[in-house]
Amino acid sequence: MSTPQAENITMSAGGRYSLATAGARDVIDGATKLVVRAIGEVPVAAVDGVFTMSDMGCADGGTSLGMVRTAIGAVRERFGRAAVKVVYADQPRNDFNALARIVHGLGGFDGYLEEFDGVFPLFSATSFYRAIVPPGGLHLGFSATAMHWLSGKPGDLAAHVHAVGAVGDEREKFAAQARADWQTILLRRAEELAPGGQLVLVVFCMDERGRYLGNTGGVNMFARFNALWRGFVEEGAVTEGEYRAMTLPQFYRTVEEFRAPFEGEGAAARAGLELLEMETRVVPCPFAAYFKMHGDADKFATAYIPTLRTWSESVFYGALSTARAGGERRAIVDNFYRAYGDEVRNHPDGHAMDYVHAYMRIRKTR
* Binding interface with its own copies (CB under 8 A): 1-5, 13-14, 49-50, 83, 85, 87, 92-97, 99-101, 103-104, 106, 118, 120-126, 131-137
d(CA 140, CA 39): 7
What does the buried/exposed string (b/e) look like for 56-77 if buried means 16 or more CB atoms within 10 Å of the residue's CB?
A: bbbbbbbbbbbbbbbbbebbbe
Least Å distance, CB 9 to its own copies, is: 13
- Closer by beta carbon to its own copies, 5 or else 321: 5
Report the relative pairing of strands 138-144 and 193-204 from DSSP bridges.
parallel
Given its phi and psi angles, is residue 36 left (phi above 0), alpha (psi -120 to 50 degrees) or beta?
A: alpha
Least Å distance, CB 89 to its own copies, is: 9
Q: What is the DSSP letter of 145?
A: S
Least Å distance, CB 267 to its own copies, is: 20
- Closer by beta carbon to its own copies, 64 or else 124: 124
CA dihedral 10, 12, 17, 23 (to 10 degrees): -60
Distances (CA, A) of 188 to 132, 141, 153, 193, 267: 8, 11, 20, 9, 11
- Closer by beta carbon to its own copies, 122 or else 339: 122
- Closer by beta carbon to its own copies, 51 or else 222: 51
Residue 11, C-beta contacts closer than 8 angstroms, at least 6 positions apart: 17, 59, 60, 94, 95, 98, 310, 311
d(CA 78, CA 84): 12
- Closer by beta carbon to its own copies, 95 or else 242: 95
Residue 245, amino acid: A
Please return the burial class of 274, using the count of CB atoms within 10 Å of its CB with bins 0-12, 13-18 and 19+. middle
Distances (CA, A) of 366 to 48, 185, 224, 273: 17, 18, 47, 8
- Closer by beta carbon to its own copies, 106 or else 167: 106
What does the buried/exposed string (b/e) look like for 173-189 if buried means 16 or more CB atoms within 10 Å of the residue's CB?
A: bbbebbeebbbebbbbb
